Amino acid sequence: MNPAPSGCDGPERLLLRRARRVITVNIALVISVLVIAVGALAYVVMASGQHSQTDRMLNGTIEQGISATPPGCLWLFSGQAHTPVGAVPAGMPIQASIDQVTRDGATITERVAFGGEDYTVRTERHGGVVVQAFFDERYQVADRNLLLIGLAAAEVIALLAAAVTGHLLSGRAIYPLGDALRRQRTFVADASHELRAPLTRLHARAQLLSRRAGNSDPGKAQLASDDLDRLVLETRELGEVVEDLLLSARLRTAPPQLGPVELGTLAEEAIASEAVRAQERGLRLVLRREQASYMIRGVPTALRRVLSALLDNAIGHTPAGGLVEITVRAAGGRHVELSVRDTGSGFEQRDAERIFERFARGDNGDGRRFGLGLALVREVVAGHGGTISARGEPDNGATFTLRFRSAPT
């Protein structure tokens, strides 16, 4: 058996396990259907053969007549005589059928049950006399029941064998996929490490040039300063993309080391860090929380990235005069909820799941949309054992709600 590569953690491991289960279930279903089809065919063939045998024995008994002793499980009635002689099972003969054949001369073949047994009965006119033959089906019924028990046992054994076989084959089938995911994640981590250092130097150099340009000729300096400011902003944004990639790779290669975190304090810090930007855009930035402790277990740096991404998303999609509000509250005594609500462009509720996909882009607003922000938010939240949900309405804002299990104060 080839298990999924050990480097596959988080969502990738869940996806690989799900794929393995789907393959196993499909193989088991196919084999089960084949066994059922073969069993049904065997049962039909057996029942058809038994019915043909019953017809032959009834015909033979009627042809031989009352003077012959019929084989076991057979009774023949003709007038006042019957064979074999001796006690007759209760219910024999069926006088109503004899009377009907006496009237119209038709042959009647029927199945009846009395005394806890099933019988095939044929009533016909033979040699000018109405005769009635009974065939006891107890042994045929026993054979069919035995076949059904055997088929049920074969189905169970086949299902177990198919499950084991499917599990082994699916493990081999998805191993290359798991290895490819591991290699992809390793590449992202390595590329992020390689890009982070030169980006940091580029950003620092741009800042230095911007400050120097401010001390030169006022006319040219202003143009140069504007260009350099844009360069600083773009290098900062590029650096944030690299940080997102690096954090995403780290979340998959190793579970985060969780410690006590006061979520209300992180919310206050996030509000403070975005206050200037919100003011420049003409937005109200509000924090609502009670003076209580909202302790959870987490990684402060990762959770700061989560709040930063949610605030960036809200500010970028809210027009001037709008509101961005963070609410922190206790939920049910065992959980802590943090919601980020805005009065911006919102989204269709049917897209509530799609916006968490990588490289998904919003239709409105100018928030940072590199396709990793909200996807990374969900990964970080899931890595902390929490959940995130989104509710929106076009042109009526959006609300993102995080829910974590509370920790002792």
CATH number at 326 reads 3.30.565.10
Q: How confident is the model at residue 11 (pLDDT cuts 50, 70, 90)?
A: low
Give start and end residues of each alpha helix (H) in 214-325: 218-253, 263-280, 300-316
Domain count, the chain: 2
| Nearest residue to 129 via CA among 94, 97, 105, 93 | 105
Note whether 327 and 307 are within 8 A (CB). Answer: no
Q: Express as a percent the part of the chain with pLDDT over 70.
A: 76
- The answer to the question of residue 103 being in a domain is yes
Which residue bears the tokens 């177990």?
160
Q: Are strands 108-114 and 81-83 parallel, antiparallel or unpaired?
A: unpaired
Could you say which of 143, 158, 180 is where a domain stops?
143
- The pair of structure tokens assigned to 19 is 């794929």
Residues near 210 by beta carbon (within 8 Å), at least 6 away in sequence: 225, 228, 229, 231, 232
pLDDT of residue 7: 47
The C-alpha atoms of residue 375 and residue 367 are separated, in whole angstroms, by: 15
Regarding whether 399 and 279 lie in a shared domain, the answer is yes
- The answer to the question of residue 302 being in a domain is yes
Q: What's the distance, Cα to Cα, between the start and end of the chain in Å? A: 46
What is the average pLDDT across 7-15? 61
Q: How confident is the model at residue 369 (pLDDT cuts 50, 70, 90)?
A: very low
One-letter amino acid at 273 equals: S
Domain range for 86: 12-143
Could you say which of 143, 169, 185 is where a domain stops?
143
The C-alpha atoms of residue 85 and residue 72 are separated, in whole angstroms, by: 12
- The answer to the question of residue 171 being in a domain is no
- The answer to the question of residue 160 being in a domain is no
Kindly report the CA angle at 303 between 233 and 352, in degrees rounded to 5? Answer: 85
Q: How confident is the model at residue 324 (pLDDT cuts 50, 70, 90)?
A: very high
Which residue bears the tokens 């499917």?
166
Q: How confident is the model at residue 379 (pLDDT cuts 50, 70, 90)?
A: confident
The C-alpha atoms of residue 315 and residue 377 are separated, in whole angstroms, by: 16
Q: Are strands 259-262 and 117-126 parallel, antiparallel or unpaired?
A: unpaired
How confident is the model over 231-269, as pLDDT tens digits?
666 666 666 666 666 666 665 556 667 789 999 999 999
- The answer to the question of residue 283 being in a domain is yes
How confident is the model over 390-400, as pLDDT tens digits?
999 998 899 99
Instruction: Indicate whether 71 pLDDT > 90.
Output: no
Could you say which of 143, 163, 184 is where a domain stops?
143
- The answer to the question of residue 233 being in a domain is no
Note whether 307 and 267 are within 8 A (CB). Answer: yes
What is the average pLDDT across 256-284? 89
- Residue 318: phi, psi to the nearest 5? -115, 125
Instruction: Indicate whether 85 pLDDT > 90.
Output: no
Instruction: Indicate whether 4 pLDDT > 60.
Output: no
